[in-house]
Structure 1
Amino acid sequence: MRDELLVKMQHAFPLCERPFEALAQELGRTEEEVLEEVRRLKEEGIIRQTSAIFDTKRLGYDSSLVAFRVPEERIDEAAEIINAHPGVSHNYLRNHAFNIWFTLAVPPDSRLGLLGTVEKLAEAAGAEESIVLPTLKMFKISVKLDTTGKQSKKEKIREKALKPIRMGARHYAAVRELQKDIPIVSEPFADALERLNMGYDELFSLAEEMKEAGVMRRFATILNHRRAGFTANAMSVWDVPEEEAEALGRRIAEFRAVSHCYLRPKYPNWPYNLFAMVHAKSQEACDEIIGEIARETGLQGCGKLYSTREFKKKRLVYFDPAFQRWEEEALSD
């Protein structure tokens, strides 16, 4: 049951009154069996969190991938400084001269803005060089690890037409609750509904509306890759001609092992513009997938940046007062 359950929870966790009962019915199990298994997976650290995954930019935030070149003797201190920013959700040490890689988001009312925040972090962390790599085009963002080993190597990526939305107070209230990790109980949304003073129908209607507008990507379970058996991940980076970038990005995104695929800017000190994150159960398997991508696309200018340490990985907390507190402190220095 474990592997099938993890696949289902990663793809689309049921938004209903008793979601674990719904999963149990799909798996031919009892609700209590599923609850026990999920609790065990959570205790073992295989499941990180089950919550809504929102589109940062559609909530008005400015965000980017950022890389710092930090002297080796300052790496731990620099990572701690970067991690303290509430808009840093992922932070890794990678095997490159640009050794610290993190994602940064700042809210729409940020006084420093994204670039100002990067400058403050670079100065505090002692970075000798930095690059800001915003998304120019997103081809795929979907971390769904194949824990069964039964899925095909490729998947079709379909662009969904998004419906317009006018976000109101009830939508934002729902965002604040749906972004939280759910408790592993029969009715995990019950406490949220009490805080929101709304019923199941309204909450799930708001969630569906935000999903159709692209504000919410999906409601799903995020795994700890390493504890789930996917011990290697490589950020493969490719030097792609601008006129071919979109076609190549779409082809690379079809590889199931690729969780993220983006077009980003090039710089004199950074020649790569197409990024594809590859997850596998070993470095050899990652290398094999990247080699297959190269053979199928004819691309040669590739770099492979493996993560060697995970400094931080957590969901971004939207509309968190911690953003304002961080900026007030940074501006007072």
Structure 2
Amino acid sequence: GTTEEDVIDRIEVLHRKNVVRQIGAIFDTRKLKYQSMLVAMRFPEDKLDKAAQFLNRHPGISHNYERGGHFNLWFTIAVPPDRSLDDEVRMLGELTGAISTRLLPTIKFFKIGVNFDMVKGKSDATEGYRPEDQGTTSTTSPEVTQDVIDYVKVMQEDLPRVSRPFDAMAEQLDMTVEQLFARADELVEKKIMRRYSAVLHHRRAGFSSNAMIVWKVPEERSEEIGTIMAQHPAVTHCYQRPIYEDWPYSHFTMVHGTSEEECERFGEEIADATGMNERQLVYSLREYKKTRVRYFVEDEFVIEELQPIS
């Protein structure tokens, strides 16, 4: 057993050491009618930092990484329903002077969700294929009412490190704590809210390597192979995405390990299970940004008013 004060102190230490990035509600971007996708860009090495810092200003860019390979900057972006995602990415490419840009929306989703075993040093990804998660946005999800928007705006914030953290949240929403939790259950049932949890800094939590393993998969075997890939316990995310002349890799599997050697072993195991051998391990070289998308917030970032970087 332990005391409430000790738990709060431990959480504070984990925040201060940046092991825990944030504790809060995680919502499904598509269910909130936001559009999202993965984007790969290529920049000259001497322009990369400046471009990455420029992109970091965009409120919808939640993950932004330098990675090895032909495309050296990869980011995820989400925009509200009243914005055009394709136009937004096109303008960002023009403003940053990208040599090339590839839009990589999800064609098919096979797996998402990861739990880290802090004792054994293993990741356990558990959420599997769900048809309603396909595409860049959802057309079948429930209407996003003003009540839902207000709830999202409050619950997406970091959990206060106080004795009764949900009291203030409930008060902001003019409801009781019991009603706050009941609404959470309702939104989980509707798959608008995925979970309420801590988001870890993987490297500081002991998972020092992560690799995006991309695979060349015949179209006619796409679903079969994706399903097998998703079953590997080290795979935290598994998607099918578009291919291009300069990017023939349709299947993306993200793995987290304690070393590059372990990530390479995961790749070998997936290859053995699927019979697919044409792959690349694309490692994260530098993290420029990793945060959650903050939904329904006012922001001063107006892309049409920005000047290209020099």
Q: Does the TM-score normalized on the shorter chain lie above 0.5? A: yes
After the TM superposition, which residues 1-333 of structure 1 pair with which residues of structure 2 at under 5 Å, given as runs?
28-110=1-83, 113-149=84-120, 157=128, 159=130, 165-322=142-299, 325-330=301-306
The alpha carbon displacement at 1:160 in A equals: 9.4
The alpha carbon displacement at 1:32 in A equals: 2.6
Secondary structure in structure 2 of the residue aligned to 1:145: strand
The alpha carbon displacement at 1:36 in A equals: 2.0
Output the CA distance in 2 between the equivalents of 1:157 and 1:261: 9
The alpha carbon displacement at 1:107 in A equals: 0.6
Which ranges of 4 or more aligned residues in structure 1 deviate by more than 6 Å?
150-154, 160-164
Per the alignment, residue 12 of structure 1 pairs with none
Q: How large is the RMSD of aligned CA atoms in angstroms?
A: 2.4
Output the CA distance in 2 between the equivalents of 1:153 and 1:47: 18
The alpha carbon displacement at 1:87 in A equals: 0.6
Output the CA distance in 1 between the equivalents of 2:131 and 2:2: 33
Higher helix share: 1
Output the CA distance in 2 between the equivalents of 1:45 and 1:152: 19
Secondary structure in structure 1 of the residue aligned to 2:287: strand
The one-character-per-residue Cα deviations of 1:223-268 (angstroms, maximum 9, x if unpaired) are: 0011111110000001111222222222222223211111111111
Deviates further, 124-133 or 207-216: 207-216
Q: Are the aligned partners of 2:33 and 2:80 in contact in 1 as well (CA < 8 Å)?
A: yes
Output the CA distance in 2 between the equivalents of 1:171 and 1:64: 23
Q: Are the aligned partners of 2:112 and 2:128 in contact in 1 as well (CA < 8 Å)?
A: no
Output the CA distance in 1 between the equivalents of 2:159 and 2:308: 37
Output the CA distance in 1 between the equivalents of 2:307 and 2:97: 18
The one-character-per-residue Cα deviations of 1:166-217 (angstroms, maximum 9, x if unpaired) are: 4322221111111111112221112211211111122112211111111111
Question: 1:331/1:201 Cα in 2 relative to 1: closer, same or farther (>3 Å)?
Answer: farther
Deviates further, 207-216 or 221-230: 207-216
Deviates further, 49-58 or 184-193: 184-193
Output the CA distance in 2 between the equivalents of 1:105 and 1:153: 26
Question: 1:249/1:320 Cα in 2 relative to 1: closer, same or farther (>3 Å)?
Answer: same
Provide structure 2 residue ranges, at least 5 long, that are not aligned to the other structure.
Answer: 134-139
Output the CA distance in 2 between the equivalents of 1:160 and 1:100: 29
With normalisation by structure 1, the TM-score equals 0.85
The alpha carbon displacement at 1:152 in A equals: 8.6
Write the letter of the residue equivalent to 1:119: R
Secondary structure in structure 2 of the residue aligned to 1:108: coil
Write the letter of the residue equivalent to 2:296: F
Q: Are the aligned partners of 1:257 and 1:278 in contact in 2 as well (CA < 8 Å)?
A: yes
Output the CA distance in 2 between the equivalents of 1:213 and 1:154: 21
Question: 1:314/1:97 Cα in 2 relative to 1: closer, same or farther (>3 Å)?
Answer: same
With normalisation by structure 2, the TM-score equals 0.91
Write the letter of the residue equivalent to 1:212: E
Provide structure 1 residue ranges, at least 5 long, that are not aligned to the other structure.
Answer: 1-27
Output the CA distance in 2 between the equivalents of 1:202 and 1:262: 36
Aligned residue-pair number: 303
Output the CA distance in 2 between the equivalents of 1:158 and 1:137: 9
Output the CA distance in 1 between the equivalents of 2:63 and 2:306: 21
Q: Are the aligned partners of 1:153 and 1:256 in contact in 2 as well (CA < 8 Å)?
A: yes
Q: Are the aligned partners of 2:113 and 2:125 in contact in 1 as well (CA < 8 Å)?
A: no
Output the CA distance in 2 between the equivalents of 1:275 and 1:318: 26
Output the CA distance in 1 between the equivalents of 2:291 and 2:274: 33
Write the letter of the residue equivalent to 1:90: H
The alpha carbon displacement at 1:275 in A equals: 0.4
Per the alignment, residue 21 of structure 1 pairs with none
The alpha carbon displacement at 1:327 in A equals: 3.4
Write the letter of the residue equivalent to 2:100: E
